[in-house]
Structure formats: C-alpha cells, structure tokens
Amino acid sequence: MNRICHIEIDDTGLPSPSPEMEQERRVAVFDLLEENSFALPERDGKAIPPGPYRLMMTIRERRLVVDISQENGEKVAEFHLSLGPFRQVTKDYDQICTSYFDAVKRLPPSQIEAIDMARRGIHNEGASILQERLEGKAEIDVDTARRLFTLISVLNRGE
C-alpha cells in the first residue's frame, strides 16, 4: 500500500525536453510504477490515509509542487520544495546525460562506460538530495528517489 500507483507530470509552459530526455522520463515513470516505495508519515499527530498514491508533479514559481492523492483521487497532501538545492546537480546531470547520449553514438564502449559511471554518481547525488528534502514529508527508498530525481531533472530544465 505504501507505493505510487500513478504519476502525472505537468510541464505546461516549460521548454520541450530533447527526445533522449523524454525517453529518460518515460523509462523513469515506467520503472517507478513497476516498483517503488512511497509512504507518508503522520503529520501533526494525524494519520495519513494509506496508499497507493497518485502523484502530480509540476513547477510553480520556481518550486517543485508535488500533489498527492489517494487512488480514488482524494487529495491527502501537497509539498512545495525549493529547486535551489537541486539546481547544480540537475545542471550537472543534464550536461552528463548530453555527453552520454553523444558518446553512445560515436565512442567505444570503454569511454561510454566511464561517462555512464559519472552519470550514475550525479544521479545518486540528486536522489540523496531529494531524500533529504523529503525528510518528514515522505519516506522513499533509494530507487524511488533516483527515478523521481530523473523526473525532477526533466521538469527543471531551463529553470
């Protein structure tokens, strides 16, 4: 029950992602829905209705807004996270992804592997920041944090 069953991304008004980043987004959503761990802790002494949960993610006024509802659509929580702590890591992630996508087209496997290792390191850093920012708001495992960070990085492009 402590899981995400549906995720929607509102990128209205944001620049279109590259085809490669759009593919990253699709894969992250697919993987996230296949397997994730997402729980909402008690707030102000009140129990939060159990999941599974539907998430709506958007950027508003330079903040990541995550709207959470139960499977039936009843809203249970909303977080607003400053994008400031993510700014450098999403920029780094975007740059390394661009390098990786270019490398796949023209470099030998050993060089692609080195770039991919750097990409995974930055991805892990972004996931760690997300887990820190969600402390007390939501409990997520590392794999869920990685996939959500991918979605944040796609949403945060051009911010």
Other C-beta atoms within 10 Å of 126: how many? 25
The count of structural domains within the chain is 1
Q: Which strand (E) or helix (H) includes residue 153?
A: helix 142-155
User: What local confidence, expressed as pLDDT, does residue 151 receive?
Assistant: 93
Taking the CA of residue 92 as centre, how many other CA atoms within 13 Å lie in the half-sphere pointing to its CB?
Answer: 16
Domain that holds residue 139: 4-155
- Picking from 143, 149, 139, the residue whose alpha carbon sits closest to that of residue 41 is 139
> Structure pTM?
0.90
Residue with structure tokens 């929580």?
77
Can you list the alpha helix ranges (DSSP code H) found in 1-141?
A: 19-34, 84-106, 109-133
Task: Report pLDDT digits (tens) over 22-47.
Answer: 888 899 999 999 999 999 988 777 88
The chain-wide mean pLDDT, for the chain, equals 91
Instruction: Specify the higher pLDDT residue, 14 or 26.
Output: 26
Amino acid letter, residue 155 = L
Name the region of 41 (left: φ>0; alpha: ψ -120 to 50; beta: rest): beta
Query: In the predicted model, is pLDDT for residue 157 greater than 80?
Result: no
Residue with structure tokens 């490669």?
20
Q: 89 φ, ψ to 5°?
A: -70, -35
Query: In the predicted model, is pLDDT for residue 122 greater than 90?
Result: yes
Query: In the predicted model, is pLDDT for residue 158 greater than 80?
Result: no
